[in-house]
Amino acid sequence: MKPMKQLSLAETGFLPKAGKQTRKAVFLAEMDTVVPWSRLEGLIELHYPKKGNGRPPMPLGTMLRIHFMQQWFGYSDPAMEEALHDVPVLRRFAGLDAFEDVMPDESTILRFRHLLEQHDLATALFAEVAGVLSEKGLAMKRGTVVDATLIAAPSSTKNQNKARDPEMTQTKKGNQWHFGMKAHIGVDAESGLIHTVECTTAKVADITMFDACLHGEETIAFGDRGYHKSNRTIEQFEKEGDLSVITPTKKPAGGKLTDEQKAFNRMLSAVRAIVEHPFRVIKRQFGFTKVRYRGLKKNTGQIVTLFALANLWLARKRLLPLVGEVRP
């Protein structure tokens, strides 16, 4: 892991007043502490360019930190290049010095992302993060909550190809049509951490991805009405082998739910609320509200990376006492 550098004298003029830390600086300090840098770099190192073949590559640790900052702050490749020149705290997090190091340009940042896509390393990074959390005792396996969220894609045809992305589809939710893709996740019912991520086009029904969102060791699974197969009452849950599948009781045609059924649905909603937190993190905390690329593969890689980082963000308060103090 390449540590963050001390600020040069030339940069100290950008420092805030003593005792004042910005939210961005606090966020980066926490994530610098909880991200298992050496283990993640080890997954990429085998595929990363080596010294001696032409122009020396940027340090792997620097490029991985830059890639993660793109996910956290929503920077495109050109915007990330400019931010490294303009924002000292980002430059410091990446281990760069504006006056000593060669700064990575947008092409270098793009090539690193393509390297991750080519070798499907986003999936490997997600699995490694999940493994670290499991080793720390933060992931249980008794129950899973499943859900999906729509990710919007540009529906306009005013582009170079005069067409929408052929790998995206539209679907109707309520009375509104949506164009894009879906992220399906399985979340541990106790810790709230994501153990499975699957991405599809928007028209794929939630229930068809139910099995894919399970890890196979749970004894109980919770879903919303999108995962409903038959009318379930409080006493009669659907059993699939050793797995109990619990979804809200639906109102019968022309009838009403009993008070007991309404109380059960409210209780189930409280249990299922834990699955909404990862969606909140990537959409509100990280600002990911629509796809950035064309095609499912590229966008899936970004979404899987976002959920890996969301796991670390959600677990950070529990991880920090285990891995050490936050670096000032």
pLDDT at 19 over 70: no
- Which residues fall within 8 angstroms of residue 300, CB to CB, at 6 or more apart? 122, 199
* pLDDT score at 65: 98
Q: How confident is the model at residue 221 (pLDDT cuts 50, 70, 90)?
A: very high
DSSP E strand boundaries for 191-276: 194-201, 220-222, 238-240, 243-246
pLDDT at 271 over 60: yes
Query: Could you give the CA distance from residue 302 to residue 75 in angstroms, rounded to a whole number?
Result: 12
- Spacing of C-alpha 73 from chain mean position: 13
Query: Could you give the CA distance from residue 105 to residue 111 in angstroms, rounded to a whole number?
Result: 10
Query: Could you give the CA distance from residue 269 to residue 97 in angstroms, rounded to a whole number?
Result: 49
Residue appearing with tokens 């080596």: 50
Closest CA to 306 of 106, 101, 126, 77: 126
Residue type at 225 in one-letter notation: R
Cβ–Cβ < 8 Å for 309, 34: no
Q: DSSP letter at 234?
A: S
* pLDDT score at 160: 76
* pLDDT score at 327: 54
* pLDDT score at 249: 84
To the nearest 10 degrees (0 to 180), the angle between helices 37-45 and 60-73 is 110
Question: What is the SS3 assignment for 188?
Answer: strand
User: What percentage of the chain exceeds 90 in pLDDT?
Assistant: 65
Domain ranges of the chain: 9-119, 140-303
Q: How confident is the model at residue 236 (pLDDT cuts 50, 70, 90)?
A: very low
Q: Say which range, 9-23, 33-47, 193-207, 210-224, has the weakest mean pLDDT.
A: 9-23
Cβ–Cβ < 8 Å for 175, 296: no
How confident is the model over 166-184, as pLDDT tens digits? Answer: 999 999 988 899 999 999 9
How much is the average pLDDT of 86-101? 83
Query: What are the distances in angstroms from CA 277 to CA 192, 256, 285?
Result: 8, 31, 10
* pLDDT score at 244: 87
Closest CA to 264 of 236, 243, 233: 233
pLDDT at 96 over 50: yes
Return the higher-pLDDT residue of 252 and 124.
124
* pLDDT score at 325: 55
